Amino acid sequence: MGDPKAKIVAHLKSLGAHLYGIGDHTGKSVHNIGEHLHGAAGEFEKTEQELADAARSKVFRGTMDPLDGSANKGSGAHVRIGNFGAMVDNISPAEAAKLAKIEKDFPDDLPMVVLKKQPDFHGEFRGEFKTPGPSGPNTPALFGHQINDPINDELGRATIKARLINGDTSGVNYAAFKCYDENGKPYILVGHSEGVHSERVAGIPLVDSSTRVSDIFSERTPCDRKSSYCGTWLHEHLGDSNSGSAPDVRYHVLYDDTTKNYDVTKHVIKDAKHWLKHYG
């Protein structure tokens, strides 16, 4: 459907150019109006970019909506995430104090957007981006490789920061995506499972967009579980999102779809409690 802000800019420029032409034949005043409108279009673009740049200089919790003119659910600054917009809220002073400790240890980490719980949004789009099914000879998957300690991985740290912001020591899964916007500017997008697995929560906004995804980290292996099949979902929808190649996928613990999965969940909870105590 396109970005309505881009359409406004295009219309302003078109009208300005049209009035330029009229001004050449009818007088200076109309020409000046055209010049003013053309300048306004440029300032509009500049302001939008400044807002996006300022927003990405901090950590946010975002709510998302399609950029189709519908009302946004959140308030605050606007950032562009793939084919969607995020209205994002600044973190609280208490949350900022927690993050200050980990950011002191890792000052060069990229800015990040942490998605809020939004089951209405993802419930609506779950069926639109379907999975091809379980992995197999004709359905390749992105399961990735294991890393020992998330604190030593920038995307792993992003999931720890997201848990700090949310105060979350539960067994839900967090996933982080390293993204490059249309201007090549990098940032990290983090989502957690909420009825839809975390890889989809963060991945849905990026599907079929100009955003490049170079790396993905998930606390657990992307699953090969009935109805979710996150490994094949990632390959199907984001398998060429790294400039035509697949993103580098990493995980910390193996996903287990048996009774042993409780042991995996306990491990995730133990790690979460450790880092929230360390940096909280």
Domain residue spans in the chain? 1-55, 88-279
DSSP secondary structure string for all residues of 58-112: SEEEEEEEESSSPPPSS-SEEEEETTEEEEEEEPPHHHHHHHHHHHHH-TTPPPE
| DSSP code, position 136 | B
For residue 218, the model assigns a pLDDT of 98
Q: In this predicted model, which residue has the larger pLDDT, 131 or 179?
A: 179
Phi, psi of 220 (to 5 degrees): -110, 160
| Per-residue pLDDT tens over the stretch 30-86 | 556 656 666 666 666 666 666 656 555 667 777 766 554 444 444 566 777 888 877
Tokens 């249309």: give the residue: 182
Mean residue pLDDT of the chain comes to 81
Determine the average pLDDT of the residues in 268-280: 93
Which burial class, exposed, middle or buried, applies to 245 when counting CB atoms under 10 A from its CB (0-12, 13-18, 19+)? exposed
For residue 1, the model assigns a pLDDT of 45
Q: Is pTM, for the whole model, over 0.75? A: yes
Which burial class, exposed, middle or buried, applies to 195 when counting CB atoms under 10 A from its CB (0-12, 13-18, 19+)? exposed
| Per-residue pLDDT tens over the stretch 221-262 | 999 988 789 999 999 999 999 999 999 999 999 987 666 677
Tell me the C-alpha distance between 213 and 192, whole Å: 18
Phi, psi of 126 (to 5 degrees): -60, -45
For residue 178, the model assigns a pLDDT of 97
Element (H, E) at 195: none
